[in-house]
Amino acid sequence: MTRMGWVTAIALILGSQVLAEETPWAAGAHFVLSLPQSDFANLSKDGEGLGGKVLYRPNLSRHFALRADLAYISYGEKRKSMTDASYGYYLMQIRNESFQMTLGPQLSMPLGAITVYAAPMGGLYVYRTVVSIPALYYYYGWPAAETTSSLSRWGWNVNGGLLIDVGIGPVFDLQFKYQKIAKAVQSKIENVTTESDATDFYIGVGVLFYLKKKY
C-alpha cells in the first residue's frame, strides 16, 4: 500500500472511531452578564455570574436538540448607613441574587465551522435579597446579622447564539437572551404593593463539549 493509501486508511479508521464514540449529549459552561431593563433596572444593577447548559440531540441530529439551562447571577451589593436608638450608626449591606432554571427546544443551522442556533425557553426564576449588618456578626453571629427574602416566578426567554468550532475539541459558545419574568418587580407606595414584569438582556460567553462514550 502506498503512503497516501496508509494515510487515507488511518484517517478513515480514526473518523469512524470518533463517530462511534459520539453520544447525543452535550454540556457547556459560560460566564454571564445580565443587563436589567425598565422597572427591573431601577431595583438592580447589572449582574454577573455563571451558567451551564445541557443538550440532548435525538439521533445525533445537527438541527434539533432538547436543552436545559441553569444560571446564577449576582446583581452586586449596595451599602446604606442606618441609625438606631440602641446601636447608633451602623452599616447595612444589601445583595441581590438570581437562580434561573429553563427548558426548551433548540434549532440549529450548521454553516461550516459556525453553527447558528435559536431557542425559545421557559422555566423558574428565583430572586433572593440578602440583607446583612456586619457589626452584628461580632456580637450575635450569622442568624441575627443576616436576613434573606426570596421571590419565585415563572418566566420565558428567546435566545440565539453562535457555536464556533476552531478544531480543538470543545466549541466556543456565544449566546444572547431576552428574558421576561412575570410579576418579579414589586413596588410599595403608601402600603399599596404593585407588581410588574421584569425584563433583561443576558449575554453568555463560554464553551460547549460534545460528550463521548468511554469503553
* Rounded-to-integer distance, Cα 120 and Cα 153, Å: 17
- Asked, for residue 8, whether it belongs to a domain, the answer is no
What three-state secondary structure class fits 5? helix
What is the domain extent for residue 199?
23-76+98-130+150-212
- Asked, for residue 89, whether it belongs to a domain, the answer is no
- The count of structural domains within the chain is 1
Tens-of-pLDDT digits for all 215 residues of the chain?
555 554 455 444 444 444 446 899 999 999 999 988 766 655 567 889 999 999 999 999 999 999 999 999 988 777 666 666 565 566 777 778 889 999 999 999 999 999 999 999 999 999 888 777 766 655 665 555 666 778 888 999 999 999 999 888 899 999 999 998 877 665 555 555 566 677 889 999 999 999 887 65
C-alpha cell at 164: 464556533
Cβ contact 169:209 at 8 Å: yes
* Rounded-to-integer distance, Cα 165 and Cα 207, Å: 10
CA-closest candidate to residue 93, choices 155, 38, 145: 145
CATH classification of the domain holding 119: 2.40.160.20
Neighbours of 22 (CB within 10 A): 15
191: left (phi over 0), alpha (psi -120 to 50) or beta: left
